[in-house]
Structure 1
């Protein structure tokens, strides 16, 4: 099971994901979660529920080591679409016994109803350094009533050392981190995931795990596309399996300690009534180097797509996200973590 999936399973088992009753009346200010402020732009929580210190004592995930960091509750109607965004500034102290710790965060909303209801991020941190995670998705409210969204964090020890106290291995969610939920979006906003299996890319190979033809706001002039991926460089065998690999480590027999370079390319093509391109393709890309020390990394991409008002064009786009291995060691693309989101600009 992948880290994100394991986190969600632990949450459900421990009751941390809020299951709130349907049909509840709209909240008053006093009924809202104290740490989640309501604003015209939506809801935002910046005050940690259970603290900002995330233990990384163990080589495997334990329910007692899952820290609930932020949470938001709100009343919503069935069919509303809300943008859910976490912004996590992760920092590993310079004094940890282990040189590297795995930091993982997961944001999820309940009730669930078949659409995308979670997103996560995982990366190895290095002693004295940090990283920024922005897991995000559009949540399609499955029924009228109360909704709960929660951000949790956990830590692991990918390279334990014999000396030092294991309890000193911890990372922090720094000030400036938050969990936000927007006001209702347009009917066409959506997030996509894939049921494909993870795969490993050799040098020069590419893969498009998510491709879709979708309608956008007919009155809009632009929209935003985000494309988020979890990748693992084959600097070691460990960590190259997930919920889709049936227990197989995809880096087996592929280990190379050079690190990898990966490019994420998102392409949007507007279509006419026949389904043919009616305007020039629009692309945006992100290049990331994954070092052997980092091993796991997130590639977060975002771009603005312009909508042509030509009479030949419809407000319909073919959107695809492609990952390219452009140098170094073979690279695993973790399919369960794939998220592509389309929303207003």
Structure 2
């Protein structure tokens, strides 16, 4: 595999890594205030799902950060499975690990079907623990959730044209990733069941007119017991009669933000960033990432204090798990 060149990003500079052969055809465009750097003409990166546990380094961005400095680390990974795999689907796994002044990481994964593509957007706000050099690396790996046929070595997926890893310029101290470590994953059993894993109040700086709010989630349909456990559960949450082989579900996501007065009362109406957007979670997909991003407008007649809520509802179909470790909500400038 070709060695990926490094980006030496000085302080106050942003670095975006994009395969040069497709820099003009990305399906998702990096923010306009970011600098695009090429990484070579080969474009794609092959990920051997048949070799479970093997990590493939796809991108690396290096920069210098001061103590307490915050940067928005984002990515767009176009995961594609070719038509020549023996398995009908593979799991595409991605993670970003930033280290050097304290280690932080985030991940995202989902099944991709033969001949199809999916998009994964792991992202978070990195806070430097002290001054020094930081290296952020995006890794990819794969699994075979439904092994069939041979040869096993045919089961690879690849990071396609248009993928990137981005590191923003330093951001204000009010930007953040909300702490969700106290959450425990929850199973939604019947249509109408819902959960609000995100209900957070936060303050931004005075004078800010707008900001971005990102809220990402992961769900698993109970078409089998596999994949329904995580670090917050004591075994699988899909068990017994709730498991419906071949079952599908439809879930919806609603994300709202509302501003407050200095005394804590509501001020103005809510801003709905995601209004009940629905997602089909089939047996083949099994795990589904729900990525969302919106712009919040600040009312200068209210205090710079906001409450954000993110609600996931089972609209129809079989029981579905909402995974607490994958709850990621960010406030960025």
Give, in angstroms, the shift of residue 291 of structure 1: 1.0
Quick check: 1:243 aligned with 2:214? no
Matched residue, 1:26: none
CA distance in 1, matches of 2:8, 2:112: 31
5+ long unaligned stretches in structure 2? 19-38
Quick check: 1:188 aligned with 2:174? yes
Deviations 1:217-249 (A, max 9, x none): 311111111100111011111111111112x11
Alpha carbon RMSD of aligned pairs, Å? 2.0
Matched residue, 1:204: 192
Deviations 1:45-92 (A, max 9, x none): 23389971100115xx43xx2111101111110111100001100000
44, 59, 62: which one pairs with 2:16? 44
- TM-score norm. by structure 1 comes to 0.83
| Aligned-partner SS, 1:281 | strand
Deviations 1:113-143 (A, max 9, x none): 48xx222111111000010111111111111
142, 147, 156: which one pairs with 2:143? 156
Q: What is the 5 A alignment of 1:80-229?
A: 80-111=69-100, 113=102, 117-161=104-148, 163-195=149-181, 196-202=183-189, 203-229=191-217
Quick check: 1:296 aligned with 2:292? no
Deviations 1:5-31 (A, max 9, x none): xxxxxxxxxxxxxxxxxxxxxxxxxxx
CA distance in 2, matches of 1:188, 1:140: 11
270, 278, 291: which one pairs with 1:287? 278
Quick check: 1:342 aligned with 2:328? no
> Does the aligned pair in 1 maintain the 2:78–2:119 contact within 8 Å?
yes
CA distance in 2, matches of 1:179, 1:283: 28
Count of residues in correspondence between the two structures: 302
5+ long unaligned stretches in structure 1? 1-32
CA distance in 2, matches of 1:170, 1:129: 13
Deviations 1:93-118 (A, max 9, x none): 0110000101110012114648xx22
> Does the aligned pair in 2 maintain the 1:104–1:120 contact within 8 Å?
yes
CA distance in 1, matches of 2:14, 2:196: 33
> Does the aligned pair in 1 maintain the 2:9–2:61 contact within 8 Å?
no
> Does the aligned pair in 2 maintain the 1:230–1:338 contact within 8 Å?
yes
Deviations 1:168-203 (A, max 9, x none): 100000121111100101111101241211111122
> Does the aligned pair in 1 maintain the 2:82–2:157 contact within 8 Å?
yes
CA distance in 1, matches of 2:281, 2:8: 37
